[in-house]
Structures are given as C-alpha cells and as structure tokens.
C-alpha cells in the first residue's frame, strides 16, 4: 500500500479499498467500498480528516482509500469489448491470429441477420458457433438460453459446455476499454452484495427504475437488461462521473459485475419528477416563492453544465427531480454529450426542442436555453403541456414564423420576459445560463414574484 503524495482538497470524494477499524477515538472506521468525503488535510500526509454518509467525522489513513475520478472524456467504454459488430468470417480469423486456445470474439452473423457468431481459437484453428436469437433469448445449442451476450459469454467462460474450449481471453475491439475495469479504476464500481432492490418506482423506456438500499441509504437504481441499451447507459454513466453539482442528480456508482443487468445507482429523489410535483400540488399549495426557487435551482445546474461545455439536449420538467427537502435537480443525462455535437432528431420532444436543433441537428447550450424557457413555462403553468390547443404538427411551423406562447395565468411579467428571451429564433440572441441565473436571483432579491 503506497502513501498518497499529493494532498487532496477538502470536498474530494474517495472510496475505501479496505476495511479500517478505529485505533483511537479520533479515527473514523469504515468498510471496503464505503464512500467518504475529505473534510481537511492534516499535517501528516498519511492521514486525512473525513466524514461518512451519516455525517460522522474522524481521521482516516490515506493509503486505505482511493480518490474518485471522472472517467476521462472520450474514453470508449464497452460492456462487451469482445463484440466486433459487422465483420466477416475472414476478418475474425485474422483478428484471432496468432492462434491462442481460448482467445475469442463475437461478431454479427453475416449469413443469418439478427443472429451472432462466437469465434473461438482452439488448437491452431478458429471455430465459428452460430448464436441463435429465438423467442427473445440467445442460444448456441438450444439447451442453454441467455438473456444477452454478456450472460452467454460468462457461461462459456466458466464452462466449455460443448464448445471446443472454454472462453479464456477476449480479443478486445481496437480502441475500447472494458467498462468494469475503468469504473473500478476510477472508483465508481459498486458491489451487488451491498445493494438491496426494494420496489419499482418507475418504468423507463429501457428498463425499471427501482428504489434500493445501498449500505443503509435509499438510492434510485436504473436496471437495464438489454445489450445495446446497457451499452448506451454506460455512456450516460461515464458523463455522470464527470459532473458534480448540488442541482444535478448525483451518480453514486455503477454495478457491472452482474452479467444479467447493468445497474446505475443514483441519489434517491423522494418527491419524484418536477412535472408530477407541480401537477399534484397546484397553485393552492405552491406559492410564487417556491416556483421561483425551482426555476433558480434548474438554472444553477444548467449554468454548471454550460461552464463545463456539456449540452443536456432533453431539458424538461419531466427530467427534473425534486428531493425530500424540495431541491430541484436536473436528471436524465442519456442524451448529454459534449457541446456542439449532432444527433438523430427522430426521437426528440418537438415541443421542448429549439428550432435549429430540429431543423439542422444543431445542439448547443443555446438550444438548452430554449428548452429552459419551455421549462419555465411548465413551472408557472403548474405542469401543463406546452403549446396547449395547438396540434403537434403545427407547432414547428408556427414557432418558426415567430409564435410565442402567452404567459401562464398568474405568471409575473418579469419571468415571462425571461421566457421570451429564451425563445429568440436566433440562438446567438438567447442569454447564457449565467445571465438567466443572475436575473432570477435579482427577481428573488427584489421579491418581484
């Protein structure tokens, strides 16, 4: 165990690599896998003052913990680094040369679209096994069936079970990094044994969202079982390791050791989505001060994304969550990528998306600002769907001719002016989130709501 040379700053998160028992009353005991926050650097570089999740503070040995780091942007993480996609039989055989028994890869089948092929080097030659997709399951011999490729590969890694050899060594696709290795290295891999799934709290497009218990704390858990979808969520988790702000839903870690599913574990937001919160309480419960606070919370989270050159792409009240203590936090980073990237627009929510993003696939902080204007309208209309009484097919043509929604009933004029600033057809004319946040703070200070 090596001594940490460079002191970590207060606020740094670290994860325990070992159990630590208290030696003096001033020490803070912890167990392997526990996440701790550095409170202060001590004169002795071998010790830090830290606190745990319940707020207990004490001294910890520096060489028992690992600093949590954001996974480097641009890293190509893969849950299936042995999956090479559409390559031919001949290309697979070249990749598995020189022959090494147990070296393997998986490719898409060229003869049977929709199926896969497991290619295994064995005693100097390559064997090709067709993986059949049958009634939602994968099988090689129609005796053992699997939910996904990760399960299948794990099975034949542990037991040859009729193959020429067990799978011993994956042939990694060039440029990819095994997701489990990278999440472990950077301190974000959690252990399945520490997680208890309690009940379903939502059904997403890609899988269930569960309430869970992780080491005694309530957490939200996205459970993704499908190969391709799980791979997409690895990209989401990678983004979340790089972002930390009080108004963004915080990633707690990722579980990739269970080959039947990928689990993304985040902080639990007890009061659910902002849109449901607004609709269920309404104007008799939520006063102007509360609406302004939610608006300010979201602007602060988005200013942080802006400062770090990230674009959310799907900002809406349904993707903002509310904590037990009424803090609004931006969530759902599934579409988040570094600024100015383009993407397929076919699945975009038309009523929330900026005209240039729909028309030219131009996504930027400025397109997020447009969406923030729509979100403000949602907040002040207590969760109404934008562009009421206008058919979806008519929304874009009317907006591009300069149409702007009217102010919601009871919305302060100063807030409506902010909405309209966000809805400039020229993206360059829209204010940055920093300015929006400053204007909302001014409204709050002057009690103009």
The catalytic site residues sit at 314
Pinpoint the alpha helices (H) of 148-269. 149-158, 179-185, 227-242
Q: Could you give the count of Cα atoms lying within 13 Å of 434 in the half-sphere of its Cβ?
A: 3
Here the tokens at position 19 are 């159990």
Residue 16's Cα: distance from chain center in Å? 23
For residue 27, give the DSSP letter: B
Backbone angles phi, psi at 117, to 5 degrees: -130, 130
- The answer to whether the beta carbons of residues 84 and 117 sit under 8 Å apart is no
Q: Which of 91, 191, 181, 104 is nearest to 140 (CA)?
A: 104
**Strands, E assignment, 65-194:** 65-67, 77-78, 103-108, 116-122, 125-134, 137-139, 145-146, 169-170, 177-178
Task: For residue 325, give the DSSP letter.
Answer: T
How far apart (Å, rounded) are the C-alpha atoms in residues 398 and 164?
A: 64
Joined together, the tokens standing for residue 302 give 């988005």
Tell which residue, 289, 295, 249, has the closest CA to residue 272. 249
Q: Are 266 and 210 in contact (CB under 8 A)?
A: no
The answer to whether the beta carbons of residues 231 and 80 sit under 8 Å apart is yes
Residue 375 to residue 315: CA distance in whole angstroms: 7
Alpha-carbon distances, residue 253 vs 35, 219, 321 (angstroms): 10, 10, 18
Joined together, the tokens standing for residue 9 give 């700053």
Rounded Cα–Cα distance for residues 226 and 221 (Å): 16
**How many other CB atoms are found less than 10 A from the CB of residue 285?**
11
Spell out where 256-396 has E strands.
262-267, 310-311, 320-322, 328-330, 337-338
Token representation of residue 116: 């896969």
């Amino acid at each position: 165990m090596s001594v940490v040379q460079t002191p970590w700053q207060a606020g740094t998160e670290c994860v325990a690599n070992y159990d630590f028992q208290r030696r003096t009353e001033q020490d803070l005991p912890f167990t392997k896998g526990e996440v701790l926050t550095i409170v202060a650097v001590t004169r002795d570089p071998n010790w830090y003052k830290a606190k745990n999740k319940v707020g207990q503070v004490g001294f910890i040995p520096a060489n028992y913990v690992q600093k949590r780091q954001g996974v480097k942007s641009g890293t190509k993480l893969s849950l299936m680094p042995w999956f090479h996609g559409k390559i031919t039989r001949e290309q697979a055989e070249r990749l598995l040369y020189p022959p090494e028994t147990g070296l393997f890869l998986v490719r898409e089948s060229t003869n049977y679209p929709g199926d896969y092929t497991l290619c295994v080097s064995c005693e100097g030659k390559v064997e090709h096994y067709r993986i059949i997709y049958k009634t939602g399951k994968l099988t090689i011999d129609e005796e053992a069936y699997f939910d996904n490729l990760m399960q299948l590969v794990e099975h034949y890694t542990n037991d040859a079970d009729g193959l020429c050899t067990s799978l011993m060594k994956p042939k990694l696709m060039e440029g990819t990094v095994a997701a489990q290795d990278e999440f472990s290295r950077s301190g974000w891999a959690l252990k399945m044994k520490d997680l208890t799934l309690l009940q379903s709290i939502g059904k997403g497009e890609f899988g269930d969202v569960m309430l869970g218990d992780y080491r005694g704390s309530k957490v939200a858990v996205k459970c993704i079982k499908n190969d391709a979808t799980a791979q997409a969520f690895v990209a989401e988790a990678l983004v979340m390791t790089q972002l930390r702000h009080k108004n963004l839903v915080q990633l707690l870690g990722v579980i990739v050791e269970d080959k039947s599913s990928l689990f993304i574990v985040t902080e639990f937001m007890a009061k659910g989505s902002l849109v449901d919160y607004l609709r269920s309480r309404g104007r008799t419960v939520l006063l102007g001060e509360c609406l302004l606070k939610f608006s300010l919370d979201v602007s602060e989270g988005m200013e942080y994304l802006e400062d770090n050159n990230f674009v959310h792409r799907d900002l809406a009240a349904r993707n903002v969550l509310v904590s037990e203590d009424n803090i609004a936090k931006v969530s759902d980073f599934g579409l988040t990528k570094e600024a100015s990237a383009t993407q397929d627009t076919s699945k975009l929510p038309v009523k929330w998306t900026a005209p240039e993003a729909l028309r030219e696939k131009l996504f930027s902080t400025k397109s997020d600002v447009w969406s923030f204007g729509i979100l403000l309208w949602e907040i002040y209309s207590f969760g109404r769907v934008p562009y009421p009484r206008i058919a979806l097919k008519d929304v874009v043509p009317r907006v591009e001719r300069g149409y702007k929604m009217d102010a919601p009933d009871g919305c302060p004029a100063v807030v409506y002016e902010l909405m309209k600033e966000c809805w400039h057809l020229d993206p360059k004319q829209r204010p940055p989130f920093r300015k929006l946040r400053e204007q909302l703070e001014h409204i709050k200070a002057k009690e103009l709501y």
